[in-house]
Structure 1
Amino acid sequence: MAMGLFRVCLVVVTAIINHPLLFPRENATVPENEDEIIRKMQAHQEKLQLEQLRLEEEVARLVAEKEALEQVAEEGQQQNDTRAAWDLWSTLCMIIFLMIEVWRQDHQDGPSPECLGGDEDELPGPGSAPLRGLTLPNKATLSHFYERCIRGATADAARTREFVEGFVDDLLEALRSLCNRDTDMEVEDFIGVDSMYENWQVDRPLLCDLFVPFTPPEPYRFHPELWCSSRSVPLDRQGFGQIKVVRADGDALGCICGKTKLGEDMLCLLHGKNSVAQPCGGEMEDLLCARGSPYLDTVQVMKWFQVALTRAWHRIARKYEFDLAFGQLDTPGSLKIKFRSGKFMPFNLIPVIQCDDTDLYFVSHLPREPPGDTQAPSTDWLLSFAVYERHFLRMTSKALPEGSCHLSCLQIASFLLSKQSRLTGPSGLSNYHLKTALLHLLLSRRACDWQAEQLDRRLHELLYFLEKSLLEKKLHHFFIGNCKVPEAMGLPEAVRRAEPLNLFRPFVLQRSLYRKTVDSFYEMLKNAPALISEYSLHVPADHGSLPPKAVAL
């Protein structure tokens, strides 16, 4: 009890002693200048606030920079992803385009799938309105037109060929008799080519085209260089070659006229009349070659051939009761027999050089060349497949049904083109293009598709193939680079493996010629029904009515 009371008293005394109001002097720890302390504390507080604001701004800046860096990194990643995706799509597109181009190279030289694989009761769906609007006369009218205007007009073709061949045999034999075997070119037997010998000649008068191969005197020989292989071949020079004159023993080019005594009236074909043979290894003046070159010159060959034919005709002229004249001065061998009655019979003797042991021939000039052709260098010779074309048509005809319509289609198309050319003038489309289109169709179509009763369908298909080729400006040569040609044809391997040759390439470079050709082609399609009906006026009445108006020619 006493201890508890003592503790209470002790607490009270301690509280009284420590109270500031009772003992102020002993508790004077707070400074008298309180305002100064408060001011300093406020200043320190403001300083702390400013520092806090600075730190907050610094933190905000660092956060903003971090976010900006993260955004830039994200955008860069997106761009990289986009670029990678674009590169992937570009690669895929390039692969697709290459696959399409390869497919076109393999399939575009033939008719479209709807033409070949569709129902035989349906005509191919043309790709443009003009041909879709073409309505050919009925089968009876078309057949009557062919029998009356084409077959009847070419009935005397065999007799014409026989007459021309007999005369040419005599003319070439006279030419050989005038030549010196030691110094002159040796002329071989002629070869009949083109429409008259392929049985689809339409134009009148009937025209025979004859190749006349020639070879040089010994010890020389011709060395053909296919595709001008000694240099890079420009696109417009594909299908050409050069002919080099070399010695058979491999020595330098020389002439033997200095070793042989020539007659007073004899002229060496390799030298001029006053030329002197140079010693081996010297520069030589070659009249049949380009100046300063060992390659044959087409102009020199043309002059030699015309002079040789003139001399041969003068030797045998007394045996015949007609005259012989040149038809076209710029075409070698373009001849014309003129009868006393006023009639005439043209034919072409074309000097050619055989390419090795094949049926390919280098031609100096082609008669009836289509307009727009650029002038070729005089040392470039055109490679002709005329003999192969004749062989292919003959081989194909054996596999087709009897009375097949393939040549009939070609004859009708050629007839329409000939009439159109007389109306609007010649264009870039020629009979050779028509024949090339037919050869492509023959290779793609089944044999049973060429029966005589399908003449109208095959004719429509041929015209559609030409229209498609014109619109695409692409018509591949039938033999060059065409791996579908049967191996039995015996084409040289270099020809089979060559790049395809586009016969319509001039249309890409010559827009005016292309526009004229397209306009002329569509005009021909427009006039075709009326033209065929005009030449078929004597069709029996039960074969159908005729259009009320025909085109004037």
Structure 2
Amino acid sequence: MPVGLFRVCLLVITAIVNHPLFFPKENGTVPENTEEIIQKMKEREESLRLEQLRLEQEIADQEATQKALEKAAVVAEESKEEKVRWDMWTALSMVIFLLIELWRQDFQEGNWQDIGGEEDDMAVLGKAFKGVTLPNKAVLASFYEKRILGTTGDMARMREMVEGFADDLLEALRSVCNRDADMEVEDCMGVGSMYENWRVRKPFVCDLIVPFAPPEPYCFHCQTWCSGDSFPPDEQGYGTIKVCRADEDVTGCICDKTKLGEDMLCLLHSQVSSTRPSSEMEDLLCFKNTQYLDADQVMKWFQIAVTKAWNRISHKYEFDLSFSLLDSPGALKIKFKSGKSIAFNLTPVVQYENSDVYFISHFPRNSLATDVPSSTHWFLTFAVYERRFIQLVSKTLPANACHVSCLQILSFLHGKQCSLTGPSGLTNYHLKTVLLHLLQARPSQDWAPEKLEARLQDMLKFLEKCLQEKKLYHFFIGNGKVPAELGFPIIFQRAEPLNLFRPFVLRRDIYRKMVDAFHEMLRNMSALINEYTVHSPLAHTNGIRKEPL
């Protein structure tokens, strides 16, 4: 009941308040202002719409700006990552260059020739060799027995005969020389293929070197390209020999480095300089107006001295002696009345300090192709150490090892190829250098006699690789792994490796001929071996009988 009464009262009050009679001012203008209110509401709506558009535009601009900032941040981050990556590659490149430099130094200390000693390395070498098939072991054994051993049986007797005659000839040479003013000649030494037991082609030629020294009070001062003296790159492997007095400081007197007083005199220079006429140096076989030993004058003196010596002892022998080759001054020939002849080379050399390295005036014919810069430049020969190294290694190899057999077979095939197509830049010395490299790289058991075929393949593949790269390094120069037992001079071990193929880099005609001759030898190899093989019961064996070294 109270709730219903309250509702009736609320309704009456509302009616009174909203009735126009009670409130005429407030409600009387409503109909008149409706359009104005509507207009204001439209204007307000339009203003709100515009404000909304402005706000939406600002929001869009802010979003665009934010996206641009985010994109710029991403680009900056990528740039930073790229810079970090570039810095990493730069650092890596520097590390690589450093490793290369360290490797180069190690290369100079001994790793001078990549010989490809592993089987998998050898398998990828030699494109031309891939199509070549060597004869089997039985055929190789028969070829070696019949064609090579059958022709080398009398080498020992020939060496003995030549050495005995050379000793007698040099003794006579000493007797005809002026002991006070002429060169002093020492005993000869045998080097090369005849003394390393791998000479196969006739005529057999013994190579003998004869050290000589100047008369007192003079001495030789040797200068090499690796001893700090100034030598151009194309003169690597050469040296010069300066003739000095024994009491002379070849590096210069102290008066050249110290300012003496006006009233002071160098007694050494006052004596030496006044007694050094140019004719004196020429009498000592020096090049004109210099103190450097002249190889051409040495050979002329040696030929004249040998001729005088032979005239003194010729009555003791029943044969004639003559110089056999004009382009090889030390080439001599013994000719018997029966028509047979024996050839040998007698070449004067100068000892390098107290070692068995020698400056050689001229190489025997076809032993090593080289162009000498001048007659005062002498090439160094390491033939004595090469012979000792082969003898040293042979003691560690299995019985009847195949190392000498490999060199003999390749030398024979190379000689036959030269007889067919003419001589090329490739020489037997290159073949021997390949063998020396492989002897040091291969373990001793790899040179067993039954592995002859595999080692022949190794030598041919390695040689072809060297020809392709135009790099065949001298075995001793720059080789830090030379056995200490040899007593090899350390100055040559630390020298930069000497590339024996360097002369062919610029002489493309000779290089092309050498490569073509080598590839043709590969193609003809099987045919030549089969041609010279005599089928016999030995052809069914795998061993190779050899002469004792």
- TM-score normalised over the length of structure 2: 0.77
Find the counterpart in structure 1 of residue 78 from structure 2.
Answer: 78
1:105-504 mapped onto 2 (5 Å cutoff): 106=111, 108-114=113-119, 125-227=123-225, 229-250=227-248, 279-280=274-275, 286-287=281-282, 288-369=285-366, 373-504=370-501
Matched letter for residue 89 of structure 1: W
For residues 112-137 of structure 1, what are the alpha-carbon distances to aligned partners after superposition, in whole Å with 9 as ceiling and x for unaligned? 32279xxxxxxx52523432332222
The Cα of 1:344 is off from its aligned counterpart by 2.6
For 1:61 and 1:372, the matched residues in 2 are separated by 84
What are the Cα deviations for residues 225-247 of structure 1, in whole angstroms up to 9, with x where unaligned? Answer: 23263534443322222211111
Aligned to 2:533: 536
- Decide whether the 8 Å contact of 2:319 with 2:336 is kept in 1: yes
**Matched AA of 1:435:** K
Q: Is the 8 A contact 2:227 2:491 kept in 1?
A: no
Alignment of 1:11-160 (within 5 A): 75=75, 78-93=78-93, 95-96=95-96, 98=99, 106=111, 108-114=113-119, 125-160=123-158
Cα pair 2:222 2:242 within 8 Å, conserved: yes
Secondary structure, aligned partner of 2:132: coil
> What's the CA shift for 1:57?
11
Displacement after TM superposition at 1:375 (Å): 3.4
* Distance change >3 Å, CA 525–CA 183, structure 1 → 2: same
Paired with 1:224 and 1:146, the residues of 2 have a C-alpha distance of 44
User: Which sections of structure 1, spanning at least 5 residues, go unmatched?
Assistant: 1-11, 22-41, 43-52, 117-123, 254-276, 545-553
Question: For residues 492 and 538 of structure 2, what CA distance do their matches in structure 1 show?
Answer: 53
Partner of 1:260: none
**Matched letter for residue 517 of structure 2:** S
The amino acid that maps onto 1:280 is T
Task: Return closer, same or farther for 1:107/1:187 CA change in 2, 3 Å cut-off.
Answer: closer
Q: Pairwise CA RMSD of aligned residues?
A: 4.2
**Following TM superposition, by how much is the alpha carbon of 1:355 offset from its aligned partner in structure 2, in angstroms?**
1.0
Q: Secondary structure at the match of 1:106?
A: coil
Q: Which amino acid aligns with 2:123?
A: G
Deviation at 1:354, TM superposition (A): 0.7
Partner of 1:4: none
Kept in 2: contact 1:353–1:361 (CA 8 A): yes
CA contact 1:126–1:132 (8 Å) conserved in 2: no
Q: Per-residue CA shift, 1:437-473, capped at 9, x if unaligned?
A: 1112222223232222222222222222222222232
3-state DSSP of counterpart to 1:309? helix
Using the alignment, how far apart are the partners of 1:149 and 1:369 within structure 2? Answer: 23
Instruction: Give, in angstroms, the shift of residue 153 of structure 1.
Output: 0.7
Structure 1's 375 and 60: CA in aligned 2 closer, same or farther, altered over 3 A? Answer: farther
Cα offsets for 1:259-295 (capped at 9, x unmatched): xxxxxxxxxxxxxxxxxx9823665662222333322
Contact 1:175 1:308 in 2 (8 A): yes
Residue of structure 2 equivalent to 1:549: none
Give 1:524's match in structure 2, choosing from 521, 524, 536.
521
Answer with 364-373 or 66-75: which moved more.
66-75
Question: Given residue 132 of structure 1, which amino acid in structure 2 is its aligned partner?
Answer: K
Change over 3 Å in CA distance of 1:16–1:211 after alignment to 2: same
Secondary structure at the residue paired with 1:323?
strand
What amino acid is aligned across from residue 405 of structure 1 in structure 2?
Answer: C
Give the direction of change, closer, same or farther, for the CA distance of 1:370–1:175 in structure 2 (3 Å limit).
closer
Matches of 1:362 and 1:425 in 2, distance apart? 30
* Letter in structure 2 aligned against 1:319: K
AA partner of residue 151 (structure 2):
A
CA gap of 1:65–1:364, structure 2 versus 1, over 3 A, is farther
State the AA in 2 paired with 1:286.
M
Secondary structure of the residue aligned to 1:428 is coil
TM-score, normalising length: structure 1: 0.77
Amino acid of the structure 2 residue aligned with 1:358: S
**C-alpha spacing 1:390/1:61, structure 2 compared with 1 (3 Å):** same
SS in 2 for 1:474: coil
Q: What is the SS of the residue equivalent to 1:241?
A: strand
**Cα distance in 1, alignment partners of residues 160 and 114 from structure 2:** 37
DSSP-derived class of the 1:530 partner = helix
Structure 2 vs 1, CA of residues 158 and 93 (structure 1 numbering), >3 Å: closer, same or farther?
A: same
CA contact (8 A) 1:371 1:427 kept: no
Q: Would the aligned equivalents of 2:139 and 2:539 in 1 still touch at CA under 8 Å?
A: no
Shift of 1:491: 0.8
Q: Distance in 2 between matches of 1:474 and 1:251?
A: 40
Q: Secondary structure at the match of 2:182?
A: coil
User: AA paired with 2:81?
Assistant: D
1:194: Cα distance to partner?
Answer: 0.5
- 1:172 CA displacement: 1.3
Measure, in 2, the Cα distance between the counterparts of 1:529 and 1:251: 61
Higher mean alpha-carbon deviation, 463-472 vs 434-443, is at 463-472
Deviation at 1:173, TM superposition (A): 1.6
**Counterpart Cα distance in 1 of 2:62 and 2:291:** 85
SS of residue in 1 equivalent to 2:248:
coil
Contact 1:285 1:292 in 2 (8 A): no
Q: Secondary structure at the match of 2:374?
A: coil
Distance (whole Å) between structure 2 residues aligned to residue 166 and residue 157 of structure 1: 14
CA distance in 2 between counterparts of 1:433 and 1:184 reads 37
Q: Deviations over 1:516-553 (max 9, x none)?
A: 22221121111111111111134349749xxxxxxxxx
Shift in Å, 1:315: 2.9
AA partner of residue 119 (structure 2): E
Which residue type is aligned with residue 165 of structure 1? E
Contact 1:278 1:284 (C-alpha < 8 Å) held by counterparts: no
- Code of the aligned partner of 1:344: S
- What code does the residue aligned with 2:92 have? L
Partners of 2:67 and 2:290 in 1: CA distance: 79
Aligned length: 503
**1:204 shift after superposition:** 0.4
Report the Cα offset of residue 157 of structure 1. 0.7
Deviation at 1:164, TM superposition (A): 1.5
State the identity %.
Answer: 55
Are the counterparts in 2 of residues 285 and 291 from structure 1 also a CA contact under 8 Å? no
Cα pair distance change 1:366/1:541, threshold 3 Å: closer
For the structure 1 residues 306 and 75, does the alpha-carbon distance in structure 2 shift closer, same or farther, using more than 3 Å as the test?
Answer: farther
Please say which of residues 423-432 and 133-142 is displaced more in the overlay. 133-142
Q: Matches of 2:58 and 2:187 in 1, distance apart?
A: 106
